[in-house]
Structure 1
């Protein structure tokens, strides 16, 4: 009986060894599969990081463009505020507010502010009549207004004019 037992033990040992080998191979295959999955995920992460870098670069570029355009707009507003043309009898100013600022050309000091237009003032003209001073202003709000300089009051408003 002993040899039979010995033979049985050897047979079971071989089966156990085969099972262990199969488990090891299965484990090895699973490990290799996990390695490939990890490598794939690493590649996905790398691609996402690259996309993020591209987006960050685009955002930085857009911020720089925005800041540059904002600076240009502010510079243009300042140029418009300072754009005063004097030709003996008339003044033209471009004003970025809805009020007309009458500036004395010689002193560049704000003398009076006439309020009434609801959009940009594109031109003004200065005139005297019967010892009174008048300013005529044309605006993007499609009105032309006449102002009494001495009384600081609007005398007349003409509505519906066009830029033609």
Structure 2
């Protein structure tokens, strides 16, 4: 069974609704979710916040956090994911910000660096940074898969 289908079943069993806040995946997680028939029962909305301004305006990410840590950081995805929950009807959310390439990387944050945040309305919050291999589509697909598997993992703790 596809990851998105597993997420949908887990959400339906809990009567929960999911929300996404995406940057480098450009809506890929929400596309995977909404490809599943009946997902309107367990998916509320997607925030595609590619620019720093969108992260600030739509999710409440602070200017100071962006300036101090950069958009691709665990601190920023933590604010993105809590902002997604605060600005939606969601029970659980995932946030993603990364460098899919081919450019944009640095020695500190090479291409393939992707930060994730998962949170739910019970107060759980998990952040993680991964370094994925491959070209832009491959990095983005790995990020989508990680985002979905992280939702499953957070729900398994409930």
TM-score by length of 1: 0.24
Which structure has the larger Rg? 1
- Higher strand proportion: 1
- Higher helix proportion: 1
Larger RCO (CA within 8 A; separation ≥ 6)? 2
TM-score by length of 2: 0.25
